[in-house]
Amino acid sequence: MTLTLIFGALVGLALGLTGGGGSIFAVPLLIYGLGVAPHAATTVSLAAVGLTAFAGAADGARARLLEFRPALVFAATGVTAAPLGVALGKQASETAIVIGFAVLMLVIAAKMWADAGSRSSEAHTVRAGLSTVTPSETGPVCRYSQDGKLRLNSRCSATLAACGLLVGVLSGFFGVGGGFLIVPALLLVTQMSMRRAVATSLLVIALIGTAGVAASWWLGHDVEWGLAGLFALGGLIGMGLGRLLAARLAGSILQRVFAASMAAVGAAMLFTQGI
């Protein structure tokens, strides 16, 4: 019980700091730390991370950092695609899931680390959590208007929906909330600051995670609610600490912390597979 709470707190800390990464820790901790089978670990991870993310999203909404409209567009296709990912994941071998998960983490980590170096403070000055980048013809698809609101035109909405579709499938397949994919996607296609992307990611994680758990239950797979509940309780504790730390760190530092954590976990998982 104590170990479950500690592991849950680590997951919550990652979510609070970076708006994602909870499941990249949850799945390995459940498998290697608590001895849960990979297929069962994916469902427990979705449930626990989803519950924790809901709490974080509510906190982000209170701080006026959460972008509801982009989150709902992103989540709409993600929720629809998550059951497909769950069904595909049940057909894959446990070794394939672990290796595929690790490789995906390493690729995303490398991209995020490189992007952190290019996101200069001058180009992405943040005031009240909003980016003040001057509109131009190049750069992110989704842009803020002069009144500080993100413009959801047809091109922006379509891009967010496409990203949500991909994240939903991968989320269901690997049993993750998808934050380690959602945050990079939001930073790539919008002008959001890192902190605003973190808050928005948490709502998307919660919605997609809920869809994944529902799909697992519908397909007849047992959900270990006791384990998920304890994990989520620890997650709430870690989430609070993570949000406090995030408020004191620059966005580029958070991005690099996120990338380094992902790379370390991905490399460790490949090592356990003898790769």
Model confidence over 214-273: pLDDT tens digits? 877 777 767 788 888 888 898 888 888 877 877 777 667 777 877 787 788 788 888 887
- Domain borders along the chain are 2-272
User: Mean per-residue pLDDT for 188-196?
Assistant: 81
Across the strands, what pairs with 61?
A: none
Q: What does the mean pLDDT of the chain come to?
A: 78
Residue 177 pLDDT grade (very low, low, confident, very high; cuts 50, 70, 90): low
Higher pLDDT, 200 or 198: 200
pLDDT at residue 41, as a whole number: 81
**How many Å from the N-terminal Cα to the C-terminal Cα in the chain?**
32
CB 236 within 8 A of CB 55: yes
Q: What is the pTM of this model?
A: 0.70
Instruction: Give dist(CA 60, CA 38) in Å, integer.
Output: 31
Mean pLDDT of the region 6-12: 86
The whole-number pLDDT of residue 23 equals 64
Give whole-number Cα distances, 105 to 99, 162, 181, in Å.
10, 20, 9
Which of 160-169, 205-214, 254-263: highest mean pLDDT? 160-169
Handedness of CA 252, 236, 232, 75 (dihedral sign): negative
pLDDT at 183 over 50: yes
pLDDT tens, residue by residue, 107-152: 878 877 877 766 544 344 433 344 444 444 455 788 877 777 778 8
Q: Please tell me which residue, 33 or 138, carries the higher pLDDT value.
A: 33
Tell me the backbone φ, ψ of residue 219, rounded to 5 degrees.
-80, 0
Helix (H, G, I), strand (E, B) or coil at 13: helix
